[in-house]
Amino acid sequence: MKPAQFDYYRPTSIEETAALLERFDGDVSVLAGGQSLVPLLNMRMARPGAIVDLGRVPDLDYIEERDGHLAIGAMARQRAVYESELARRTCPLLVEALSLVGHTPIRSRGTVGGSLAHADPAAELPAVLSALGGSVKCVGSDGERVLSAGEFFVTFLTTALMPGEFVTEARFPILPEHSGACFTEVARRHGDFALVGVGAAVTLPEGGDVCSAAHIALNGAGMTPVKPEHVEAALAGRQLDDAAIDAAASDVGAWVEPSNDIHADSEYRKHLATVLTKRALHTARRRASRGEQ
Amino acid sequence: MSNEGSLSTVTLTVNGHRYASEVEPRTLLSDFLRDDLRLTGTHLGCEHGVCGACTIIWNGAAARSCVALAVQADGAEIRTVEGMAEDGQLHPIQQAFHEAHGLQCGFCTPGFLMTVSDLLERYPDPTEDEIRAEISSNICRCTGYQTIVEAVRLAAAKLKEEV
Amino acid sequence: MRWVGARVDRKEDYKLLTGAGRFVADIDLPDMLHCAILRSSEPHATIKAIDATKARELPGVHAVLTVEDLVDRFDPIPVIWREDQQKNMANPVVPADGRVRFVGEPIGIVAADRRNIAEDALDLIEVEYEPLPAIAGVEAALGDDAALLHPDWGDNVACESASDTSTGNDEQGDGVTELHESPDVDKVFAEADRVYERRFKIGRHTAFPLETRGCVAHIDPMISGQLALWTSTQTPHFVRTILARVLGHPENDIRVIAPDVGGGFGQKEHLYPEEVLAVALTLDLKRPVKWIEDRRENFLAGSHARQQLVDVSMAVSADGKILGTKLRIFADVGGYMSNVGIGPALSTNSMFPQAYNYKAHRGNVYAVVTNKTPAGAYRGFGMNKSVLLMERMIDIVANDLDIDPAEMRMRNFPQPSEMPFTSPTMHTFDAGDYPESLQRVLDMVDYERLRAEQKQLRSKGRYLGIGVSHYVEMNGLGPSKVMHMSGFDVGGYESGVVEVQPDGTVVLATGVASHGQSHQTTLAQVVADQVGVHPDKVTVVQGDTALTPYSPSGTIASRSAPNAGGAAMLAAKKVREKMLRVASYLLEVGVDDLTVEDERIFARGAPSVGMSVADVAAHMWGGRDLGDDSMEFGTQERVVYDPPGTSYTFGSQVCVIELDPDTATFEWRRYVVNHDCGTMINPTVVAGQLQGGIAQGIAGITLEDLVYDESGQPLTTTFMDYLLPTAADMPSMELTHSETPSPYNPLGIKGMGEGGTMSGMPVVANALADALRQFNVEVTEFPVTPNRIFAAIHKGGWNRTHEKG
């Protein structure tokens, strides 16, 4: 299990990176933390002609609050985000999800941007981006564009990135006061990809019980992270009582279309979608009303 | 920097020693440590980032050396199991593994020692749940983990005594 | 007796803790080449052509050998467990008939400057296959129109075996043909109050030692041009014997060395084709070659284990007394029989009756070939499935008869006064108070209160599962005679060679080979007591055929402590006696008045009259007057010890879990075990072995499964798909020990390397089943995955099967 040969490039600017990616026209992989790519190289399931390492591109390693978003640069390590006070304060859903991403040594190297760009529908971080309605900034030789999560995640391991484009920043919207969030999942083992995971957040203005906005997305429940927008819409403006949560959870379970694999069949995953949505909404509601986020 | 099929230079510090070496870009960091630097205490158990036997400390953080390219570690500060004991004296974490029988065949042990040294820096006084969650990044096939959990607790106590 | 029984810290730890261990992958020789193995991508196919032209032309490649270069070069590797009617007595190193039978089967080897170049070369080899219908399980293999893996056999059954107390057959091979009674099994079943029949499916697991297999082969000028093979093995002497036979190479010209070995658990107990291929390359190229298995190869070609489909029938009285049992075992042995053939499945049958007091049993065992990786030994060697099946069955019956499961076991145990007790399969359990052992763990968890809590929680919608189980395990193989009568064509003896050096330090040479078992410490403790020195003064030499006495079967079957320990103890005792005789002459004190302690031989009652062990040894090695001209110079003594009987380790356990029926997952509450392996040499080491075994048992019930699709393609080929247990998946274990010494061992030692798996499998299965019982669900299929729990609770899976009242 050793990688096949590839040409290796370590550009020192975003422009140089974009030019290299364009030059190889698809037969190239972007290396950020490497926690998804290098195992695939070792197994020779990925055999790019060239690898472009973002490790020396300056100004990609940051965690900032900007324009109502938590902005995370492409080379910010998951561990740094997990340990960031700013992230904990502004985007607790992301931090809770990060505790479920692999293990500490994986998060030491793995990046938030890399996980999003890998677009594994079983992974937690794409679900967080979807739930919060976040976006990614992509740069190519034609310039930059910002794609919403819904636009970005196309299907299994596939994003809307064009050949020559790469992710430079992920943007997670910061929820208003009186919001609460919860990420929960069932995995076969601690640190494994989830069978199903649910990220949910609700806002209960002035600590009341009327929900002004609800955010939900699931991993392990389809070919991309899935966002039951009709359920979110149905909860908005409603009293968030147990009956409303039950109804939302059932709707989510009925709506998702997960696939089968050796660890769980579709039916079990649909069941988990219901159970976990309910649990996530209950916890999010409690956190919102206690002001603990 | 670019490289087309040829060798790249990697300069890095391992256990306080500086090394410079020419490598193929496809060389894994684990193979670089083992084959080029002959630091064979870092073991390979799966080569896909799951078992943790290859765990090292990379710029102060535990990381898997089997899912990293050596070229990514250019300029890095690395610690491996070989750097733990000083003057033949076991590090308190190593001593705790010895006293608690936290190893049998010993193949996973270097990776556990690295993981645990990172763990105890963040959680100087970990609960059993914290220990089990954190060391679940590493596979041991011999112990059933009970004695490793005890070793981590003992190591925490030893390190506190030292302070 | 001072060191046996002490918690001596391990002598092997320092180098392993500091990264100074030397595993086979750490060996680096000048001019060494690196190998990669060409493997079949097809589960079942005929090889039409292999074109390695491009691979041979790749810079850095030194040799490519494929089937046609190799096929006539070696004798086949014998199957060592041999039954008379067995169709599969040996396996070719590469498929001699050009037909591959599992994905991963070796069909060639490449040597190159580096491993990555060798893998590049593999990518350039074109293999043309003509696919054949694949068999992905025993049910398919036994179908009327099933494709045949080995057409000349006429079916897909490599071996079948029957034992029946009605007729007194002992074909299943306990080695003891004399029957104490011959109850008619059919009559017992016909007359019983109740008969229960269940079909069980046990998953496919394997050992996955953290160090994969691997070897370095070299014609070594430093050792007189001998062929040296450093290999990650549990059995260096056995590997050498078989390698010599397969190569047709003189055995005295081969030296096999097991360096530090990173776990084995049965997977590394025999010679594999890859080792033969590496040796062939070193003979051809006259350069050292290294093959280090990667984990994907280990998934595909390291021996698998455990998978069985079993029909169990149990006849009982209305008050829960077991009257008779029947088993039909279909073992999924993969494309060929491994080294141990039908052995593990025979053991499942043989130990199935456990220590329960009944007389009628019939077992039919079938070794069925399928297009999967060959299945071999894995810690427990079939016996953990005996326990799993019996203990599950008892719970099923107890539940139906409304008897508490602990009580049902108590009703069926032989009482201490009935020991030694002979099972229907003719195992004579020597000693042990089984009711006391079970009661001990019941008391530890306050069993009655626990059951009350379970009831109370149930009313609140919470589901505790309480598992109870007991096991008896046969281990410590031989005696040699019994092994041969069982069909296991190797000896069961061990040798110990002990020398006190002129400076008073001690060397023990033993043929067994530690790979985590702590022989360096425990065997030193055994010798230290006899020779009167600290264990730190005793070096245990092992793992090298040139330096150690022959061991026919090596470190397998929980046999090193009782057998190598027995041999070491007896040899050291002879050394002690010889030294005392010489000291008696030198000190002019009667030999019976002398003793040895703290490195001094002295007169009892007059400690100042004495001399150091070193001085006596130096005298004996120095060619000086020993006082008896018939005495040999030096201190060396050698003992070949064949145990007079196998040992029977036992234990009892209770496990408590809480099931979350909504997510179909569970959490640990308690895991309590009492374990009896006779005299413990080192209680710390015993506990470590037990805990590790428990994890390997539990994981077979909760996590691990090697899955194939219908076409015979393996679906689990990484540690992301095959789930090894982590610390977060294991319970905190509470251990106690009773010590009933084995009457067959000079130290009272019983084997204990495998007992943990006997503990972990049944009790966790029963705990999960006990929780699921509250949903009227029975558990008969393993592993018990969340998906299966979901299906059972929410979709009525695992329904009760037929039973007659």
Average pLDDT on B155-163 reads: 93
Question: Are the Cβ atoms of C786 and A5 closer than 8 angstroms?
Answer: no
Name the minimum distance, in Å, from the CA of C729 to any CA of chain A.
Answer: 7
Helix (H/G/I), strand (E/B), else coil: C669: strand
- Tokens 């059972």 belong to residue: C792
Which of 41-100 (B) contact A at CB < 8 A? Answer: 47-49, 52, 55, 58, 61-64, 66-69, 71-72
Assess contact for C81 and C29: CB atoms under 8 A: no
What does the CA dihedral C235, C241, C243, C247 come to, rounded to 10 degrees? 180
- DSSP letters spanning A125-162: HHHHHHHHT-EEEEEETTEEEEEEHHHHEEETTEESPP
pLDDT (0 to 100) of residue C554 = 95
Chain B neighbors of C10, CB-CB under 8 A:
98, 101
In C460-494, which positions are buried (b, 16+ CB within 10 angstroms) versus exposed (e)? Answer: eeebbbbbbbbbbbbbbbbbbebbbebbbebbbbb
| DSSP single-letter state for residue C172 | T
Q: Find the CB nearest C727 among B38, B80, B135.
A: B135
Question: Are the Cβ atoms of B49 and A31 closer than 8 angstroms?
Answer: no
pLDDT (0 to 100) of residue C329 = 98
Question: Are the Cβ atoms of C726 and A5 closer than 8 angstroms?
Answer: no
Nearest CA in chain C to A269: C787
Question: Are the Cβ atoms of A42 and B115 closer than 8 angstroms?
Answer: no
The CB density around residue C224, as the number of other CB atoms within 10 Å, is: 8
Regions of chain C with pLDDT less than 70? 1, 168-182, 797-805
pLDDT (0 to 100) of residue C182 = 67
Question: Are the Cβ atoms of C786 and A276 closer than 8 angstroms?
Answer: no
Assess A49–C contact: CB distance below 8 Å, yes or no: no
Question: Are the Cβ atoms of C720 and A193 closer than 8 angstroms?
Answer: yes
- Tokens 């009293």 belong to residue: A239
Nearest CA in chain B to C754: B142
The CB density around residue C711, as the number of other CB atoms within 10 Å, is: 14
Chain A neighbors of B119, CB-CB under 8 A:
104
Encode pLDDT of C778-795 as tens digits.
999 999 999 999 999 988
Q: Find the CB nearest A39 among B4, B48, B69.
A: B48
Q: What are residue C751's phi and psi, to 5 degrees?
A: -70, 150
Cis omega (within 30 of 0) for bond into A39: no
Which of A101, A268, A272, A275 would best serve as a mutation to test chain C binding (most C beta carbons within 10 A)? A268
Helix (H/G/I), strand (E/B), else coil: B40: coil
Assess contact for C397 and C314: CB atoms under 8 A: yes
Which of 221-280 (A) contact B at CB < 8 A? Answer: none
Which of B69, B108, B128, B136 would best serve as a mutation to test chain A binding (most A beta carbons within 10 A)? B69
Assess C719–A contact: CB distance below 8 Å, yes or no: no
Assess B141–A contact: CB distance below 8 Å, yes or no: no
CB pairs under 8 A between A and C: 61
Question: Which chains share 3+ C-beta pairs under 8 angstroms with C?
Answer: A, B
Encode pLDDT of B59-97 as tens digits.
999 999 999 999 999 999 999 999 999 999 999 999 999
Assess contact for C695 and B108: CB atoms under 8 A: no
Reading the block at residue A287, the tokens are 């956190």
- DSSP letters spanning C83-151: -TT-S--EE-SS-TTSEE-STT-EEEEEEESSHHHHHHHHHH-EEEEEE-----SHHHHTSTTPPPSSG
Assess B94–C contact: CB distance below 8 Å, yes or no: yes
pLDDT (0 to 100) of residue C800 = 39
Nearest CA in chain B to A102: B137
Assess B118–A contact: CB distance below 8 Å, yes or no: yes
3-state secondary structure C695-718: HHHHHHHHCCCCCECCCCCECCCC
pLDDT (0 to 100) of residue C179 = 44
Encode pLDDT of C705-725 as tens digits.
999 999 999 999 999 999 999
Instruction: Check pLDDT > 60 for residue B39.
Output: yes
CA-to-CA distance for C422 and C443, rounded, in angstroms? 28
CA-to-CA distance for C22 and C32, rounded, in angstroms? 17
Per the DSSP assignment, residues forming a β-bridge with C310 are C200, C329
Query: If pLDDT is split at 50, 70 and 90, which confidence band does B5 have?
Result: low
Question: Are the Cβ atoms of C786 and A195 closer than 8 angstroms?
Answer: yes
Question: Which chains share 3+ C-beta pairs under 8 angstroms with B?
Answer: A, C
Assess B137–A contact: CB distance below 8 Å, yes or no: yes
Nearest to C31 by CA among C394, C290, C229, C271: C290
| DSSP single-letter state for residue A209 | S
Beta strands in A92-242 (DSSP E): 135-140, 143-148, 153-155, 158-159, 166-173, 179-187, 194-203, 213-219
Which of A38, A83, A107 would best serve as a mutation to test chain B binding (most B beta carbons within 10 A)? A38
Q: Find the CB nearest A105 among B26, B47, B52.
A: B52
Reading chain A (293 residues) residue by residue, the pLDDT tens digits are 999 999 999 999 999 999 999 999 889 999 999 999 999 999 999 999 999 999 999 999 999 999 999 999 999 999 999 999 999 999 999 999 999 999 999 999 999 999 999 999 999 999 999 999 999 999 998 999 999 999 999 999 999 999 899 999 999 999 999 999 999 999 999 999 999 999 999 999 987 999 999 999 999 999 999 999 999 999 999 999 999 999 999 999 999 999 999 999 999 999 999 999 999 999 999 999 987 76
The CB density around residue A118, as the number of other CB atoms within 10 Å, is: 18
Reading the block at residue C270, the tokens are 């025999």
Name the minimum distance, in Å, from the CA of A104 to any CA of chain C.
Answer: 14
CA-to-CA distance for C53 and C686, rounded, in angstroms? 54
